[in-house]
Structure 1
Amino acid sequence: MILTVTPNTALDVTYTVDRLVPDEVHRVADVRRRAGGKGVNVARVLHALGADTRAIALAGGAAGRSAAQELAASGVPAELVPIAGETRLTTTVLSAADRSVTLFNEPGPEITAGEWAALAAAVARHRPEVLVLSGSLPPGAPPDGYARLAASGVPTVLDTSGEALLAGLAGKPAVVKPNARELVEVTGIHDVETAAGELRGAGAGAVVVSLGPEGMLAVTASGTWHAAPAAVLSGNSTGAGDAAVAGIALGIRHGEDWPRLLGRAVALSGAAVLGPLAGDVDLPHYHREHDRVAVRARQS
């Protein structure tokens, strides 16, 4: 089983407009609301693939209840740990004319030490084959919270940024998955391979870097590989990184080698761009593209 953890859960609200224009009033053509947060999205993708998964997340208030109801209706196995604060909203505006995507992410409610302990206890009750720790830490969470969860001995994929990423390295996660911008922010190094090597030296077993339309780079103990999609896709990219994490976690569970695992992650990332909402994947695209992703070893 793959267990995902989302400390900073969200109720995702997606608006579709004809065109996003500053200082103008917009008529919204379509509104969709669903449970979100990076780990929830990962579990949603895994569930769509038929994988054994469960999402654990913090949730509270009216938005938290809405998220819980939507998850139950979707069939994604989940355990929502209650908090006193109101679950945050994340708002995405999709512009139909130019297919641009604009996000507004709230910081999330402040949680207590007891609420964090309840989350950690919920995680400890399970014996997963792979653990996924995703997203930002909410205000009030211990700075080393991810490191504590990752130190369980279960192969862990850590997908976060900033101080949470740096502190999480102490837990020695099997994989960390920043994008190129996040990698520069935490290392100050602009060369991707060199920066990834810094994170490996600080505790990460491997580093998988999202490069947007150029694919992904994996820097590992057994080598460095670059995977590129067969074609550049346009659509909603907000869940692409989460779909890639689902692919990484599934590859670890299956014991795949790095070229196969990285190809899966890139194919799922592209399938998410074609999905209407974060957490959705175009399964025919994924199955068609999985073996078409070009994966090449980099010489050290």
Structure 2
Amino acid sequence: MLNLATLTMNPTIDVAYEIDHLDQIHKIRAESTRNDPGGGGINVARVFVRLGGNARCIYLSGGATGAALDGLLDLHQLVRTRIAITSDTRISTAILEQASGKEYRISARGPEIAKSEWQSCLDQLGSLRCDYLVASGSLPGNVPNDFYARVAAIAAVGGYRFVLDTSGPALAAGIAGGGVFLAKPSLGEFRALVGRELTEESEIADAAMNIVEQGRVQHLAVTMGRDGALLATRSGCLRLPSIKVETRSAVGSGDSFLAAMVHALGLGKKPEDAFRFGLAAGAAAVLTPGTDLCHPEDVRRLYSALTV
């Protein structure tokens, strides 16, 4: 069975509320509430396991909220490796206002991490055994920008494929270090990476191919929300439109995309087919409310329709 490990440096407890409407004065009663373990890598693991793979979550956790996160991971029956930290794990909130259909998302910056804590994480990765390692999410405070480049170097020694999904200086440094099997920035993150607006589709494709041809990344997927996604490989570019579905929540769409694409690649699918499977999972995540992520039956249904 395909084995995946995920690294989440800045995990979160994801709290989702559905309310009738927002009111700035009166107390608001939630119609429904959901609590889930979150953060990029943890979300990827949740989806990967749903699709039939094995996943181990490696993550930082501290304080009372860290203990709550540990408990949520156990409720989801996810295999976990906890790196203890002194500071509290963050909490993120998503609020769906039913009257307008609008979703409001509030995410805390996260804790400050001591050097000994992030170094302990690197040490843990040195003994890791897996097929793929997905590092996903932001870096918390005090962690160096080249942290993911260091992780890529460890993955190269360990002989497993390294997948990166982050933003800002951490993304730039991670790609600059090379050794990335798959990177998945959003369009906004990709624009920041290359330092240009990239208003035309041809500009996005050229910039993505330039990074791939430099040998820094083998596969580069740029997700563009309602405008679909683009995949650049040595063989060229594939651009696909989004799958039109009813939008309930955008939480975890990118993580679902990445989990499904890696799962398909691990099963031997061609990159183009894995890309389509990822697109189907991203759309399937939009169908679910709050922090529920995608469901396999929706992913496979949308994938079948897309391939036809």
Q: TM-score range by the shorter chain?
A: over 0.9
1:238-249 equivalent positions in 2, closer than 5 A: 238-249=251-262
Does the residue aligned with 2:110 lie in a helix, a strand or coil? coil
1:230 shift after superposition? 4.2
Quick one: percent identity of the two aligned structures? 32
1:39 shift after superposition? 0.4
Does residue 159 of the first structure (1) align with residue 165 of the second (2)? yes
Correspondence for 2:206 = 194
Does the residue aligned with 1:20 lie in a helix, a strand or coil? coil
CA contact (8 A) 1:247 1:261 kept: yes
Q: 1:198 to 1:102 in 2, by over 3 A?
A: farther
Correspondence for 1:174 = 181
Correspondence for 2:69 = 67
Q: Write the distance in 2 (CA, Å) between the matches of 1:155 and 1:20.
A: 45
Does residue 225 of the first structure (1) align with residue 238 of the second (2)? yes
Query: Which of 285, 292, 298 is equivalent to 2:298?
Result: 285
CA contact (8 A) 1:227 1:293 kept: no
Query: RMSD value over aligned CA atoms?
Result: 1.8
1:21-60 equivalent positions in 2, closer than 5 A: 25-60=27-62
Does residue 257 of the first structure (1) align with residue 263 of the second (2)? no
1:129 shift after superposition? 0.6
Q: Write the distance in 1 (CA, Å) between the matches of 2:24 and 2:41.
A: 32
1:251 shift after superposition? 2.3
Q: Write the distance in 1 (CA, Å) between the matches of 2:234 and 2:246.
A: 31
1:294 shift after superposition? 5.3
Does the residue aligned with 1:174 lie in a helix, a strand or coil? strand
Q: Which amino acid in the other structure matches residue 193 of structure 1?
A: A
Q: Write the distance in 2 (CA, Å) between the matches of 1:248 and 1:113.
A: 33
- State the aligned residue count: 295
Does residue 184 of the first structure (1) align with residue 191 of the second (2)? yes
Tell which deviates more after alignment, 171-180 or 286-295: 286-295
Correspondence for 1:276 = 289
Query: Which of 120, 124, 127 is equivalent to 2:126?
Result: 124
Does residue 139 of the first structure (1) align with residue 141 of the second (2)? yes
Correspondence for 2:82 = 80
1:270 shift after superposition? 1.2
Tell which deviates more after alignment, 263-272 or 206-215: 206-215
Q: Which amino acid in the other structure matches residue 260 of structure 1?
A: D
Q: 1:203 to 1:279 in 2, by over 3 A?
A: farther
Residue ranges of structure 2 left out of the alignment (5+ in a row):
none
Q: Which amino acid in the other structure matches residue 162 of structure 2?
A: T
CA contact (8 A) 2:209 2:237 kept: no
CA contact (8 A) 1:42 1:279 kept: no
1:29-82 Cα offsets, whole Å, 9 max, x none, are 222222110100000001111211111100101111001001101111111211
CA contact (8 A) 1:239 1:277 kept: no
Does the residue aligned with 1:43 lie in a helix, a strand or coil? helix
Q: Write the distance in 1 (CA, Å) between the matches of 2:80 and 2:38.
A: 12
State the TM-score, normalized to the length of structure 1.
0.92
Q: 1:174 to 1:28 in 2, by over 3 A?
A: same
State the TM-score, normalized to the length of structure 2.
0.90
Q: Write the distance in 2 (CA, Å) between the matches of 1:171 and 1:6.
A: 20
